[in-house]
Amino acid sequence: LIIVEKRLKASSQNDGGNAKDEENPYKCDRCGKVMSNFKNYKFHMKSHTVEKTFKCETCGKMFRESWDLNKHLVIHSAEKPFKCDVCGNGFNRRYNLDLHARVHTGEKPYKCSTCGKSFSACVNMKKHMRIHTGEKPYTCNECGKEFADSSAFKNHSRVTHTGEKPYKCTVCDKAFSHKTDLKGHMRMHTGENLIQNHLNQINKYFLLL
């Protein structure tokens, strides 16, 4: 790794710090991923060489850097200090509030260079691009099935292999594999379904008049 770093440093000095696309000097020899500069290359190599030693005591997720763990811990915090001025929704990170604001403004600054479709978040555009490239970076260790989306990969693992049900009802402690199933179940406690059914019956009555 040290030899590779020295070679890449020399390369970055020769080309002003920018990677040459035709040569791919910042290509990972382990997974094939290509980085745009030496700094990103070094950061990426940690994913192969540095162990995850920082553990979240709430969910058990592991991290390589302490700042990654601290950023993750906000997810478990009930505090949501960043409030939307339009609808009042609260968020635990400023970044999430900024993304949410685009729901109201309609801003979609990230555009697919292949089909022209626009997105409000960069991560959504990257997921979309896999439709065009056919990339499926998530592979199930149990059966070898590949997925383009991390959510689909996690759902597959829970339903097919692990049986994990991380979404728990706070009222009756029933657990679910999918978040959408929990939301549907919660309507039973809130009476939302009963209210909606009642409104539907009223609408049908007036339509028959």
pLDDT tens digits, one per residue of 165-202:
888 888 888 888 878 888 888 888 777 655 566 566 66
Q: Look up the CATH number of the domain holding residue 35.
A: 3.30.160
Domain-terminating residue out of 65, 88, 105: 65
Residues 173 and 122 placed together within one structural domain of the fold? no
Q: Which residue in this structure is represented by tokens 């996690």?
A: 154
144, part of any domain: no
pLDDT at 80: 82
**What digits encode the pLDDT tens for the residues 22-45?**
556 788 877 777 777 888 888 778
Residues 126 and 180 placed together within one structural domain of the fold? no
SS3 state of residue 177: coil
Domain that residue 93 falls in: 77-133
Cα distances from 29 to residues 164, 203, 206, in angstroms, run: 34, 64, 69
Q: What are phi and psi of 175, to 5 degrees?
A: -120, 155
Count helices and strands in the chain by DSSP H and E runs = 8, 10
How many domains, the chain? 3
**Could you count the other beta carbons within 10 Å of the beta carbon of residue 96?**
15
**What percent of the chain has pLDDT above 70?**
79
**pTM score of the predicted model:** 0.48
Q: Look up the CATH number of the domain holding residue 118.
A: 3.30.160.60
Give which of 85, 104, 102, 81 is closest to 93, Cα–Cα: 81
